[in-house]
Structure 1
């Protein structure tokens, strides 16, 4: 019996250690972060959207610890609103270290943050990261974003010189 209780306690601990999902912080406002999973789910069985990008406005004290452009693991609480993006309570957010390619001055996080601050949209778009690449020969970053709205793939590429302010 003691062994069974120990196993149950261990499983409960492990479940609490697994993040709800991972993604990039694409926007931030007071006490909340917009986290979008860069890996689309296949929704081709529906007639409206081929792909679905999981996205949440996550609100809580843990939002203060991460910045726009960060790749994060997030632990979510209960839903506040089941809209798109969803609105949820944020229990915990942990920044995932990103790499700095050979020859680059910026990390992937820094390049994405600068690109997101640089983009200028006339209308609101909810973007997911399609790719982040450093091209050593050109000493520049190419960040590809894809719109997650309307089921229509709208892409945007932002080019950024490495170390550009």
Structure 2
């Protein structure tokens, strides 16, 4: 019995240590106020085979964000403690890393700057959104963005000049 415990215990510590290295969520900052940020995963999960939502986006309203974090930033977040299981979830940020925003060759704007231009058009309290796609067309010098409503799965398409 002791021998089994000695073999299992290191494995448990290894598993706990490995899971702490992965962020709880990686996504875009879709809204920010004095108290919290809304972070929506940058990748959707497809639960269509189970009869559930196709294109479900994990989302969290998180407190304790850095002042430097801006709408449109791509971030990795590790929670400080438990998560309230609402949708979007609610948590306190323990660690937040801003991932440098991509700026395609030939583009003047970054993905973060493009999202910061578009997102103020929406009311995130009643209408939280996820980024379904965002890409730069060098030939037309434009950005194409598709935002998806988290609640009713409606897509909103935008095309803006790269300026």
Q: Is the structural similarity TM-score above 0.5?
A: yes
Residue 38 of structure 1 and its aligned partner are, at CA, apart by 2.4
Partner residue of 2:105 out of 102, 106, 113: 102
Residue 81 of structure 1 and its aligned partner are, at CA, apart by 2.8
User: Partner residue of 1:140?
Assistant: 142
Partner residue of 1:114 out of 112, 117, 121: 117
Residue 15 of structure 1 and its aligned partner are, at CA, apart by 4.6
Secondary structure at 2:156 match in 1: strand
**1:80-99 → structure 2 map (5 Å cutoff):** 81-99=84-102
| Structure 2 unmatched runs, 5+ | 1-10
Instruction: Summarize the Cα distance change of 1:64–1:11 in structure 2 as closer, same or farther, 3 Å threshold.
Output: farther
Over the aligned positions, Cα root-mean-square deviation in angstroms equals: 2.8
1-side partners of 2:32 and 2:124: how far apart?
18
Contact 1:73/1:95, CA 8 A, preserved across alignment: yes
Task: Give the number of aligned pairs.
Answer: 156
2-side partners of 1:99 and 1:122: how far apart?
24
User: Partner residue of 2:24?
Assistant: 20
Contact 1:69/1:112, CA 8 A, preserved across alignment: yes
1-side partners of 2:118 and 2:26: how far apart?
20
Do residues 35 (structure 1) and 39 (structure 2) align? yes
Contact 2:80/2:95, CA 8 A, preserved across alignment: no
Report the TM-score, using the length of structure 1 for normalisation: 0.79
Do residues 155 (structure 1) and 155 (structure 2) align? yes
Residue 16 of structure 1 and its aligned partner are, at CA, apart by 3.8
Residue 52 of structure 1 and its aligned partner are, at CA, apart by 2.1
User: Partner residue of 2:3?
Assistant: none
Residue 8 of structure 1 and its aligned partner are, at CA, apart by 9.1
